[in-house]
Amino acid sequence: MQATVRIFDPATRSGTVFLDDGTEVPYGGAAFDAGPLRLLRPGQRVNITLDGGQVTYITLSTFPVPGQADGPG
């Protein structure tokens, strides 16, 4: 699933993203640290994995998400 970064706090490695329907979803440092990224910036498109309404993985929209056979999307 794709989203757009709203906030990224480099100190806590957490923030929020907007889903395409406008819903704002928070993510914690664990979701960020699960991926290969070092930084995010507001407005950046990302791929995320949601589990129970919580972001469990976040990476750039051009990077594959583990477990997704068809790549970004």
- CA–CA dist 53, 9 (Å, integer): 21
**Full set of structural domains in the chain with CATH:** 2-60 (2.40.50)
* pTM of the full structure: 0.84
Per-residue pLDDT of 23-55, as tens digits, reads 999 999 999 888 888 899 999 999 999 998 889
User: Does the pLDDT at position 5 exceed 50?
Assistant: yes
User: Does the pLDDT at position 73 exceed 50?
Assistant: no
- CA–CA dist 67, 73 (Å, integer): 12
Residues 6+ apart with CB under 8 A from 51: none
